[in-house]
Structure 1
């Protein structure tokens, strides 16, 4: 590279990977979305848009035919000359690579609109077409081929054009919309399609060809540093521009002709020259170059944080890349004043083509390593504590940003996410990051112990709650091997050293995972329940013919199912809790199980109740697992028994899939099981979590075999639950005058219960109703009886207990029973 008559060697690649060109990728994505919107709009709402365009055209179309022709002639000449003017400019400036992209974009856009269902269709423009404005120019301008070609070539050339010319030429191209309206014509949908397709073609070509922003303005950086008193003799690329800036090492010598720094030069540069540091021929500076792609990526990250993360978790967003780089330099000065900065900022300046340069001294010391020992780690914690006392947060405490001098002094680098005047949330984030980085080097025990020696116990506890994937910055997590498991180990170590039972993870997102799941489930619930909500008027009209005696019997039997469930769980828990409270918990359990998919909320509530009743966590979980196991076994046995009874008098073939479907399902399940065994996390979960639970349940089952009274109580409770639900449905059918056998209703009810446990909707809403109505119809029950009977059954067994379960759960919570 030659700058002002001097040769400055540059070692290393300055090219940016194509997958990191954020601005160019965004252009392609936005243009593709525009094409999809125009096509969807043309297919869905084209008649409405055409009617609106005709209406607007009738209002603003005030030009006479002669005036319209004149406007078309003037605009047509200008728009025809536009691509040729750009072409001449590219040739004169010898942009041969750009010229190839320019021509390719135009030809591709023309070719795309020339392909029809019958083959390739060439443009057909005629000079002798009669009509008001159907001249050669109007034919030319109304053709989507020309619009697409203009949009494509202008997209390719725009980054290389002067800003003023770029704005005028895009305005000229987009002016076809009002011109069509003024001359009383409708803007054809194909013209809008040509515009967005041309933009997409040009955006893809730009991604291949590149933009001026990819050309690093090193010459301008050399001149800026020369003005600051640093004469660059060579550049060496330390890190190509990718997720972050382009980082270079610059070898410099002092400027002999400058006896004093120019106006505005940093005092740090003058101090360095006076101390003789800049007179060394081997003196180096670190140069960071920020381009347009870093600005685009930063804007996307800021938008993502604003959308997903609570305010205050990150520094306030910056309106421009210039403000972000200046903030980093100012934070470097602030931390240097504390004596904790490993480097000193030298200059910040804006360069050509939207680039920014930030120069600072080479970081002092060496990165923190495991060989430094716990005394050095204690000094790191004290240095961070001093920074926090000055109301400064660091924000990105990776091990490589922590430097150690020969005398043991600890310094910090980075400062990209630093903030002055920070508050507790930011300080907790710093402590969590340092816990993670130090634990990766020294182990969880020494890292936590040293933090507790320097910091307050409350500060370490609050910080450890932020050791989650969302709360810890991405750069910090990626710098640590197996960060997820390490964060879990640190939380356990903090709990052990502080005497805490468990540490709840802090929520830093605007919406928690549970809130998102609940929203999705609510939408799904409304969707699947809508057909049954629409049947409520019919159900209300049928209530006039309801036999209230059978309905009361159904309600009584439904209540008995909770007695059976409480009895089964009471026996599984070895009668260690009060039966009355357990019965109330079963009613509250209905609310928790119905508002969560597959009843997981009910299981969690049962475990929590047993723990509050005095059982340990392992024993409570085993008791609930034992009850569920016996319930499943009882359900399957009863299904087989009643299926055999029903099979003697009823054709059940329509309930059994054909052999092909069964083989496919079995193959898919076996394939899924085999695939999961190759995933290390799944194998670890099966070995460490599932296998101990299964072993405990098997031990409980063996113990039940030796205690027949307890086994009979559990089996009786589980059978009461299953058969009670079937009897409630049978009573509901009889209440509306239906007639069917109890065996048939039991088969239908158990199939519906199986679907309820598998359906992803809360309480199986939608799936259960559909299965019960379809099952009753398959056994000959008319829809006029099946629909109101199933709705009554669901009111008695699901919705009434849900409304009763909510206040009972609140009461149990107030009494500290759950």
Structure 2
């Protein structure tokens, strides 16, 4: 493969047997010809080429960064932080176990000879600082001051953080989580300022390859920990937390500052090729392929053979780790892949795949040799395929013969039980003769099972369909593999089965997989293939579990604070039943409200279940967000296109907001005109003043161009299709009555529930006052960022009812009953409705 050459710097490499002084000067700029069709044209003579050129190898590549951030440091930092959090949870959950362990250790140390303990104390007191200082002096002598500076920075940060945590926790929050780490005596501290900086220093300076220094420093740290245990100023839990904290600070400092780039330069790669006997003359860096370095190399000889060299860097082996772990846990592909592979294993896996493909007769570049490049990288040298990848070809250059040849290569692979796992456009090359080559073998697997082979088939079908269309891709595959073989891929034509890049491309054409299935079914209408469930679980399953856990965490403490016995003894059950009926009516009202603003026909039963499911979903998100998201999802599943679905929900929300404001103003004036209400609730002039203040504020904000543009942009995106949908609804009087009737019934149902809750405990207020209190509390609840307006609604309703004249005890009991009926009790049936709708794929 060839690629566009970037601006680069050249690094001459001494040829074997040639003195360094005889190296010739080369130019950093050169030109290259691009192939007109699949294959490349002949390159013009360049330095180091031709019969009279000096055979002095050099490397043309961009300058490498001096420092890099290693993904492994980020993962280790996250793991260390998780260790600290886990220890804090452990000491609060398993207090008896940790205290027993602490007691056992103290009893055991008392049996140790006093002389040995005193000697350990003396050595650790001196050595825990002396050994790191000695190592620092050694690094300075060896001119490794930058690494030492990073270690000192980590130690300073660790010391400062430890002092702050110790002082803040003990003085400001005695008995808190961190204080629970100090079990073991009255003079203990949660974290230890003498050990944490040393651990952070050792972590940040990276002592890999220096076993003696590592053994000395960790021995001193262990003796210091033992001394703390015997003197009872340290506990086991505190020491473990100290270890993880020191590690976290060390790895965090390393990732923030970066580490010296350990990747060998191109000169080292060429030297390794020379040791393989390949005699490189010149090389230049190709664009990376998913963080993998590639070089195009010309070797010595009359022909000047071209190679493509793949370099595997050790620090890149953890790149994409979270994604690979997620795929391994989520999918049922029965693969032998590992989320974390060593450099040696990656080298061996790709080498084995290359040899296996070549032995099976697949057209793939021949692997000429492999070699380690120092201790931080390894290389694979392939014969270069003179051509272009499928991604680089124009549509007119993709002939039927080329497509057929691609499928023939796959057929040979499948017969040999070889799975490529990444059959994307970059993995298929067209040479000068129009033949297909299979490249990019790093994810391949030998002795693949049937599922992996079918996944390869589904992936290649999708890759080619993205370029030439579903009909042409299926037709070309059927000519080689047959309709029966293609039918086995139908159940696997789902996004989760495809590679990440392919899934991203499918977002531009979401119906492509459906069209591929239709084309295959046309070839073999009678075939039946069992469905394949690739997912162990779906992301929405995790959302459901998390939501249920949060609900249980929130519900149980809330209910435990309610005097259920007192409520049962004092409540008038007739009014409780009326309140429950009012709460139940709100779900029917919400269903009518949505159905009224959707011109399409919606079933009442399922729409009612969606509103009930929203009572469960709102436990994990603000109330103003959950209803919109769930209703929009429901409309899309019901066949409404995304744009009109969002517009319909936005229309119902806009009308609901307008009705809410109008009712608040109307009943505010009605309440203000009542002599009884005037004494207890804010009169209507106050409401007018508030509205005028809001209007003035909005006017001032609208006068500022930046604020005005931002508001218009957000409102336009939120309500862009509302007017057309409202116009459709206005044309149907029945829909209009359903929508506005549901909007009014929704408010009336809540007010009936609140009023009946008040009467259930012997209280009584004018209905207009209850309306104003509810509308105010509901507005605050919708604006609050807590799930379901938790906290904001209770506070606003309690204060409003108290101001209106209710005793505080009656107001609190009424609000608790109201929230119990409208928020907490619907959680369980809401979860059941949510699970049912998911199973029916209605949301």
Task: Compute the TM-score of the two structures, normalised by the length of structure 2.
Answer: 0.68
Q: Secondary structure at the match of 1:599?
A: helix
Give the distance between the partners of 2:600 and 2:257, measured in 1 at CA: 73
- Greater CA drift, 284-293 or 509-518: 509-518
1:344 to partner: Cα distance: 1.6
Q: Secondary structure at the match of 1:595?
A: helix
2:762 matched to 1:737? yes
1:322 to partner: Cα distance: 1.1
State the partner residue of 2:175. Answer: none
Q: Secondary structure at the match of 1:236?
A: strand
State the partner residue of 2:445. Answer: 419
2:283 matched to 1:232? no
Aligned counterparts, 1:534-545, within 5 A: 534-538=560-564, 540-545=565-570
2:208 matched to 1:174? no
Give the distance between the partners of 1:694 and 1:5, measured in 2 at CA: 81
State the partner residue of 1:645. Answer: 670
Aligned counterparts, 1:222-621, within 5 A: 222=271, 226=275, 230-234=277-281, 236-239=283-286, 244-252=291-299, 280=302, 282-297=304-319, 302-306=324-328, 312=334, 315-317=337-339, 319-350=341-372, 352-368=374-390, 369-370=393-394, 371-375=396-400, 376-423=402-449, 426-427=452-453, 429-431=455-457, 433-434=459-460, 437-438=463-464, 441-442=467-468, 456=483, 458=487, 461-466=490-495, 472-474=498-500, 483=505, 485-488=507-510, 490-491=512-513, 494=516, 512-526=538-552, 528-530=554-556, 532-538=558-564, 540-555=565-580, 582=604, 584-585=605-606, 588-597=609-618, 598-600=626-628, 603=631, 607=635
Give the distance between the partners of 1:314 and 1:299, measured in 2 at CA: 16
1:742 to partner: Cα distance: 0.8
CA contact (8 A) 2:404 2:476 kept: yes
Aligned counterparts, 1:62-141, within 5 A: 82=131, 95-96=142-143, 98-99=144-145, 101-102=147-148, 105=151, 109=155
Give the distance between the partners of 1:807 and 1:492, measured in 2 at CA: 31
Aligned counterparts, 1:764-783, within 5 A: 768-783=793-808
State the partner residue of 1:700. Answer: 729
CA contact (8 A) 1:343 1:362 kept: yes
Give the distance between the partners of 1:805 and 1:168, measured in 2 at CA: 59
- Greater CA drift, 398-407 or 654-663: 654-663
Q: Work out the number of aligned pairs and report it.
A: 732
Give the distance between the partners of 1:815 and 1:113, measured in 2 at CA: 57
State the partner residue of 2:60. Answer: 12
Give the distance between the partners of 2:812 and 2:579, measured in 1 at CA: 16
Deviation sequence 1:262-310 (CA, Å, 0-9, x none): xxxxxxxxxxxxxxxxx65512433333333133437666445445655
CA contact (8 A) 2:418 2:447 kept: yes
CA contact (8 A) 1:53 1:187 kept: no
Give the distance between the partners of 2:319 and 2:403, measured in 1 at CA: 34
Q: Secondary structure at the match of 2:382?
A: strand
Q: Secondary structure at the match of 1:592?
A: helix
1:326 to partner: Cα distance: 0.7
State the partner residue of 2:6. Answer: none
Give the distance between the partners of 2:85 and 2:308, measured in 1 at CA: 46
State the partner residue of 1:130. Answer: none
Q: Secondary structure at the match of 1:287?
A: strand
- Greater CA drift, 340-349 or 410-419: 340-349
Uncovered stretches (5+) of structure 2, i.e. residues with no partner = 1-12, 21-55, 164-191, 523-530, 619-625
Relative distance call for 1:95 and 1:535 in structure 2 (3 A) is: closer
Taking only aligned residues, the RMSD between alpha carbons, in angstroms, comes to 5.8
Relative distance call for 1:628 and 1:72 in structure 2 (3 A) is: closer
Relative distance call for 1:145 and 1:763 in structure 2 (3 A) is: closer
State the partner residue of 1:265. Answer: none
Relative distance call for 1:113 and 1:215 in structure 2 (3 A) is: same
Deviation sequence 1:88-135 (CA, Å, 0-9, x none): 8668xx843x25644785599589969999xxxxxxxxxxxxxxxxxx
State the partner residue of 2:109. Answer: 60
- Greater CA drift, 622-631 or 189-198: 189-198
Deviation sequence 1:522-573 (CA, Å, 0-9, x none): 35434554564134434x3232233333334445555666676677778778
1:473 to partner: Cα distance: 3.6
